[in-house]
Amino acid sequence: MSLAPHAAKRLRPKSGLAGMVHLAGGPFRMGSDRHYPEEAPMRWAEVDGFWIDALPVTNRDFARFVRDTGWVTVAEQAPDAADYPGALPELLAPGSLVFQPTDGPVPLDDLRAWWRYTLGADWRRPLGPKSGLAGLWDHPVVHVAWADVTAFARWAGKDLPTEAEWEFAARGGLDGAEYAWGEAFLPDGRVMANTWRGRFPYESVKRGGAFRTTRVASFPPNDHGLYDMIGNVWEWTQDWWSATAETAASPCCAARNPRGGRMEESGDPGCPGGQIPRKVLKGGSHLCAPSYCRRYRPAARHAQPIETSSSHIGFRCVVRDPA
């Protein structure tokens, strides 16, 4: 089924909305019954019109925000010991999670094999104290936690998308399609997004053996003219994590502007400090691989604690049409 009437309008941006695309909104099929259980069920949802950034927020964008406001990110502050019971004292220092490729095959059920809490890693120093942003100014900003992205959005006069808005935008009007560009992951062999290519988490067959982010807009946009909705970095959304969703079997009953779960129910009780609330991330990242994380699809979703940042999470903003 086509949703062509709800495709992006090529309008002159309003004042302050340069670099954004307007979507008229409408009904669409959200979620998937064919992949991970937290994506199910596929159901009808409807969103009102909104503007969305054509690109993820870049290091260049974030630097302007920091220069203007003096904002200090969560990764640049020491974690609160009360939030991380049992944590080693030496790890209760400013830092963030950084992906480290392994030397060879490892079991894929223990992400500690490739993630390191790296002291001194933050948005300016994405790999740690000896790194910097040379050559990365037009890459997505990373190492940003929930407080950081909401502060940026307020400064920019924008907001963060809901999960439904984000997924509507990512689908590009291709109702129910597997990917943001259609049904084939590599249409005619063409690479459509920055995802893992090679054997995860140790081998990259990309040019130069690259393991990390790419410059924004390095891959084709979707049919709404939006870049990097899939791959490169996961993106924060407003919704609190929930494994359940409102259901609607037909467009007539679509939930309008659906929202996620409740903050107090969004934590992971199975983890130490598990009551830290979690938000929904969308879009997958450069670390998503067919053998490990097939979340390079509009329907895919991931739970992220609001106080945790990493080298593969970024964001983009929206402005909603007046009610």
138 vs 90, residue with greater confidence:
138
SS3 content of the chain, % helix, strand, coil (to 5): 20, 20, 65
CA dihedral over 118, 123, 129, 132, signed as positive or negative: positive
Determine if residue 75 is left, alpha or beta; phi over 0 gives left, psi from -120 to 50 gives alpha, anything else beta: alpha
CATH superfamily of the 4-320 domain: paralog of FGE (formylglycine-generating enzyme) (3.90.1580.10)
pTM of the model: 0.92
Show me where the domains of the chain are located. 4-320
The pLDDT assigned to 252 comes to: 73
Find, among 22, 78, 16, 89, the residue nearest to 49 by Cα: 22
* Distance (Å, whole) CA 310 – CA 133: 16
Residue 275 has which token pair?
């009551």
DSSP 294: -
| Residue 282 backbone class (left: φ over 0; alpha: ψ -120 to 50; beta: rest) | beta
Region of 77 please: left (phi>0), alpha (psi -120 to 50) or beta. beta
Q: What is the pLDDT of residues 44-98, one digit of tens each?
A: 999 999 999 999 999 999 999 999 999 999 999 998 887 777 777 877 899 999 9
Read off the pLDDT of residues 213-264 as tens digits, 9 standing for 90 and up: 999 999 999 999 999 999 999 999 999 999 877 776 677 778 899 998 999 9
Q: Mean pLDDT of all residues in the chain?
A: 91
pLDDT at 14 over 70: no
